[in-house]
């Protein structure tokens, strides 16, 4: 154990830098950045609590929040809007952390729960399970989500072990897999005349958040995030090639297995409560690395705050853009994320 | 499965059929001189004689044909024959032509229909292809109002050569609806039909089928809008609309309706507080959209909401 810690410390002292260039010199101090992101997250969350289809005033919202009574406003704030914000926070944190882990594990900057088909696998498994067992809902969708995420995760993990596959090819394989999964979801839905019913969930949405969904995802978020941060240094070593990692005392297989399990738990539980929301797990790790560098634990901790900030802000945008109707948050993250995908590919074109 | 096999068989026998139809249709065409021009949503279609092999691509057309004592040869039944049975209250013999959303043109043409009744929203884009198979009339079922549905019965009756019977069916229906409406006590309750799916709500507005039925029997619709359905909404929107009577249309199995029961925002809705929330069958309240279900909805409102038998 102490050997590993020494290895990790050495690693921290001389961080591995896959993307050379300007970003390495412009790193901000992580503590300040963390505080700033938390402040922005708080602002976005309060904004999200103030806005909704019922459309009462900011003053009414604040009073309902801090002086709850038996009014409709109180019921809406505490039973609809607050669980929605918290769900967005947890899903955002889950996806961002899963994104950091999967990018590290596969040493692939284009990896994310979405681009590697993990979300798609979970979604397909849930759709099949819900149609096979019509009463299935709420917390019970977590089980098929884990199974679907795990199967796809396994496929991608095996592919990533092959040295013959370049990161770009692996990412393409993942995206192809995701397209196949999306087509299979469509096929299952069309065959069962359920396509219109589930289209909002498939886009990724927290519109129908309730406390029950928060309680469903919370234990997985807590365990997944705490373990990811506690093991951050070890996961960081996975970014090195296997032999270097081993020379630093790393048991690559065991660490990789743990990281894979965390990815499945974090992404699978997110899909179970909010549908397959894309781009959060891809964008957030890149933005964070650009700001603070590559140190794994720092990236993880900042992603835990930045993922929720992105999702809560995107959800607020989704509420405002077609008020009083709403756009599912997954559509907003896709609109924001698609342009972000291109520079990431461009920056990694020579690697 | 049986439908599929027989369709395949029929396709294999198609040349033989064609010859048979050609030789048979000559005397029929000579007999039936009666030619009518039917005006519908996408133009005019000329129909000769009295069509008997009819393909219906929406549930409401099946019920309209049933009220005219005609059994269609083909129905876009979503591959769920039990829905047709539920719609008509009896079992009929027909071939499935696939889903309403994407009817199978090959299966339709194999049936050698002499009239196709299609929905504007769902089948407007394949009108040309359908017309190439058989004379096709396009009506508004999917987002049609109650008046559209009534008019459709007359148009369909006209297309099959018995307009008077269609007018009679509608007149009888109007009389029954008027009787129900006369029993409904004066009230200012705001009604809404909300479809509960697995994960969200679809709210039916004043422009929807149920909305126009509420209007026909003299009760208010909670959500006034020009679009028939507001879909993908969460609980907050329901609370904001705050209907006094809420009809929740569900399919069997779990829906979001089960999930919100303990939510205090749900409990703040007027309909919930007044005990005026009724779970109803989604097929009958939202999918069928015909005169039979119009009477069913009106009767339900009378007996369930106002306790008048």
Give B27's pLDDT tier (boundaries 50, 70, 90): very low
Chain B residues whose CB is inside 8 A of the A196 CB are 231
pLDDT, residue A197, reads: 75
Report the CATH number at residue A78. Answer: 1.10.3470.10
pLDDT, residue A89, reads: 97
What span, in angstroms and rounded, lies between the C-alpha atoms of B242 and A240?
Answer: 58
Residue A54 lies in a domain: no
* Percent of all residues in chain B with a pLDDT value above 70, rounded to a whole number: 89
* Percent of all residues in chain A with a pLDDT value above 70, rounded to a whole number: 84
* Percent of all residues in chain A with a pLDDT value above 90, rounded to a whole number: 36
Average pLDDT of span B78-95: 90
What is the pTM for the complete model shown? 0.81
What span, in angstroms and rounded, lies between the C-alpha atoms of A13 and B26?
Answer: 94
Residue among A156, A157, A130 at smallest CA distance from A143 = A130
B74 phi and psi angles, rounded to 5 deg: -140, 140
Chain B residues whose CB is inside 8 A of the A209 CB are 234
Average pLDDT of span B196-222: 91
What span, in angstroms and rounded, lies between the C-alpha atoms of B157 and B155?
Answer: 5
Contacts of A147 (CB under 8 A, 6+ apart): A125
pLDDT, residue B255, reads: 84
User: Does the structure show a pLDDT above 70 at B7?
Assistant: no
Chain A residues whose CB is inside 8 A of the B80 CB are 193
What span, in angstroms and rounded, lies between the C-alpha atoms of A103 and A287?
Answer: 13
ipTM of predicted complex: 0.78
The secondary structure element, H or E, covering residue A81 is none
Chain A residues whose CB is inside 8 A of the B79 CB are 193
pLDDT, residue B193, reads: 95
User: Does the structure show a pLDDT above 80 at A253?
Assistant: no
User: Does the structure show a pLDDT above 60 at B21?
Assistant: no
Contacts of A169 (CB under 8 A, 6+ apart): none
B201 phi and psi angles, rounded to 5 deg: -115, 145
What span, in angstroms and rounded, lies between the C-alpha atoms of A35 and A47?
Answer: 18
pLDDT, residue A2, reads: 42
pLDDT, residue A192, reads: 76
> Which residues are B46's β-sheet partners?
B37
What span, in angstroms and rounded, lies between the C-alpha atoms of A207 and A307?
Answer: 18
pLDDT, residue A7, reads: 39
A135 touches chain B (CB under 8 A): yes
pLDDT, residue B78, reads: 87
Report how many domains make up chain A: 1
pLDDT, residue A141, reads: 83
Using CB atoms within 10 Å of the CB of residue A31, give its burial: 0 to 12 exposed, 13 to 18 middle, 19+ buried. exposed
Contacts of A124 (CB under 8 A, 6+ apart): A148, A181, A184, A185, A188
pLDDT, residue A29, reads: 82
Average pLDDT of span B217-223: 93
Looking at per-residue confidence, does B144 or A73 come out higher? A73
Q: Could you list the residue range(s) of the whole structural domain that residue A187 is in?
A: 27-45+72-345
User: Does the structure show a pLDDT above 60 at A9?
Assistant: no
pLDDT, residue A246, reads: 57
Neighbouring C-alpha atoms within 13 Å toward the C-beta of B59: 29
Residue among A322, A312, A345, A318 at smallest CA distance from A331 = A318
Average pLDDT of span B225-242: 90
The topology (CATH level 3) of B2-175 is Rossmann fold (3.40.50)
Give A244's pLDDT tier (boundaries 50, 70, 90): low
Instruction: Report DSSP state, residue A138.
Output: G
What span, in angstroms and rounded, lies between the C-alpha atoms of A231 and A225?
Answer: 10
What span, in angstroms and rounded, lies between the C-alpha atoms of A208 and B265?
Answer: 12
Interface of B with A (CB under 8 A): 78-80, 99, 101-102, 197-200, 230-237, 239-240, 251-256, 258-260, 263-268
User: Does the structure show a pLDDT above 80 at A332?
Assistant: yes
Contact between A137 and B259 using a beta-carbon 8 Å cutoff: yes
Residue A88 lies in a domain: yes
Alpha carbon B133 to chain centroid distance?
23
User: Does the structure show a pLDDT above 70 at B258?
Assistant: yes
Q: Which of A59-63, A252-256, B187-191 is modeled with the greatest confidence?
A: B187-191
Bond into B195 cis (ω within 30): no
Buried b (16+ CB within 10 A) or exposed e, B150-176: bbbbbbbbbbbbbbebbeebbeebeee
What span, in angstroms and rounded, lies between the C-alpha atoms of A203 and A346?
Answer: 27
A76 touches chain B (CB under 8 A): yes
Mean pLDDT, chain A, whole residue set = 83
Contacts of B286 (CB under 8 A, 6+ apart): B193, B195, B204, B209, B210, B249
Query: What are the sequence ranges of the domains in chain B?
Result: 2-175, 184-305
Coil, strand or helix at B98: strand
Q: Which among A54, A84, A212 has CB closest to B240? A: A54
User: Does the structure show a pLDDT above 80 at A22?
Assistant: no
User: Does the structure show a pLDDT above 80 at A10?
Assistant: no
Residue A280 lies in a domain: yes
Contact between A80 and B230 using a beta-carbon 8 Å cutoff: no
Residue A53 lies in a domain: no
Residue A22 lies in a domain: no
pLDDT, residue B2, reads: 44
What is the CATH number assigned to the segment(s) B184-305? 3.40.50.1980
Q: Quick one: chain A helix, strand, coil %, rounded to 5?
A: 75, 0, 25
Instruction: List all residues of chain A from 185 to 214 with a beta carbon under 8 Å from chain B.
Output: 190, 193, 195-201, 205, 207-210, 212
Give A16's pLDDT tier (boundaries 50, 70, 90): very low
pLDDT, residue A344, reads: 72
Contact between B236 and A52 using a beta-carbon 8 Å cutoff: yes
């Amino acid at each position: 154990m102490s050997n590993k810690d020494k290895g990790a410390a050495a690693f921290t002292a001389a961080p591995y830098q896959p993307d050379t260039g300007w970003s390495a010199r412009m790193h901000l101090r992580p503590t300040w950045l963390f505080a700033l992101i938390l402040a922005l997250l708080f602002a976005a969350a309060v904004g999200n609590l103030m806005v909704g289809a019922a459309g009462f005033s900011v003053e009414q919202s604040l009073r309902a929040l801090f002086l709850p009574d038996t009014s409709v406003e109180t019921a809406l704030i505490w039973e609809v809007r607050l669980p929605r914000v918290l769900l967005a926070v947890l899903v955002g944190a889950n996806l961002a952390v899963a994104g950091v882990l999967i990018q590290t594990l596969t040493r692939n900057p284009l990896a994310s729960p979405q681009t590697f088909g993990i979300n798609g696998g979970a979604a397909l498994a849930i759709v099949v399970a819900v149609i096979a067992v019509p009463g299935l809902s709420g917390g019970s969708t977590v089980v098929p989500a884990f199974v679907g995420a795990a199967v796809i995760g396994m496929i991608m993990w095996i592919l990533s072990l092959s040295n013959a596959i370049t990161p770009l090819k692996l990412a393409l394989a993942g995206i192809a897999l995701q397209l196949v999964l999306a087509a299979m979801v469509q096929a299952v839905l069309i065959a069962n005349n359920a396509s219109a019913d589930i289209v909002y969930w498939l886009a990724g949405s927290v519109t129908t958040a309730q406390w029950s969904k928060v309680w469903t995802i919370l234990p997985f978020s807590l365990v997944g995030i705490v373990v990811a941060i506690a093991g951050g240094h070890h996961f960081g070593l996975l970014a090195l090639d296997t032999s270097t990692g081993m020379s630093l005392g790393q048991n690559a297989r065991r660490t990789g297995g743990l990281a894979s399990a965390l990815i499945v738990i974090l992404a699978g539980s997110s899909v179970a409560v909010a549908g397959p929301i894309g781009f959060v797990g891809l964008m957030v790790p890149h933005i964070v690395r650009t700001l603070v560098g590559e140190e794994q634990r720092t990236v993880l901790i900042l992603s835990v705050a930045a993922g929720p900030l992105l999702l809560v802000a995107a959800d607020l945008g989704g509420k405002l853009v077609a008020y009083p109707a709403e756009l599912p948050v997954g559509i907003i993250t896709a609109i924001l994320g698609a342009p972000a995908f291109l520079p990431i590919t461009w920056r990694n074109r020579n690697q | 499965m049986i439908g599929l096999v027989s369709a395949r068989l029929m396709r294999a026998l198609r040349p033989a059929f064609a010859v048979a139809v050609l030789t048979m249709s000559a005397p029929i065409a000579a007999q039936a001189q009666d030619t009518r021009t039917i005006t519908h949503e996408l133009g005019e279609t000329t129909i000769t004689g009295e069509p008997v092999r009819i393909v219906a691509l929406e549930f409401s057309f099946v019920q309209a044909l049933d009220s005219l004592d005609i059994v269609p040869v083909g129905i876009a039944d979503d591959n769920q024959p039990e829905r047709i049975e539920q719609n008509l209250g009896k079992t009929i013999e027909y071939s499935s032509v696939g889903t309403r959303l994407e009817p199978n043109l090959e299966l339709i043409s194999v049936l050698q229909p002499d009239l196709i009744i299609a929905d504007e929203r769902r089948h407007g884009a394949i009108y040309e292809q359908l017309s190439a198979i058989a004379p096709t009339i396009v009506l508004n079922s999917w987002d049609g109002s109650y008046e559209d549905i009534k008019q459709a019965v007359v148009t369909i009756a006209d297309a099959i050569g018995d307009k008077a019977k269609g007018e009679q069916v509608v007149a009888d229906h109007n009389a029954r609806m008027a009787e129900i409406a006369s029993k409904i006590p004066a009230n200012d309750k705001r009604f809404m039909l909300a479809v509960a799916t697995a994960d969200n709500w679809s709210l039916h507005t004043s422009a929807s089928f149920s909305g126009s039925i509420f209007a026909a029997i003299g009760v208010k619709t909670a959500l006034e809008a020009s679009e028939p359905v507001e879909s993908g909404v969460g609980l907050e929107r329901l609370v904001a609309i705050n209907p006094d009577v809420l009809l929740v249309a569900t399919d069997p199995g779990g829906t979001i309706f089960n999930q919100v029961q303990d939510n205090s925002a749900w409990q703040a809705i007027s309909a919930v507080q007044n005990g005026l929330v009724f779970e109803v069958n989604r097929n009958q309240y939202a999918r069928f959209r015909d005169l039979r279900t119009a009477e069913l909805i009106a009767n339900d409102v009378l007996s369930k909401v106002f306790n008048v038998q």
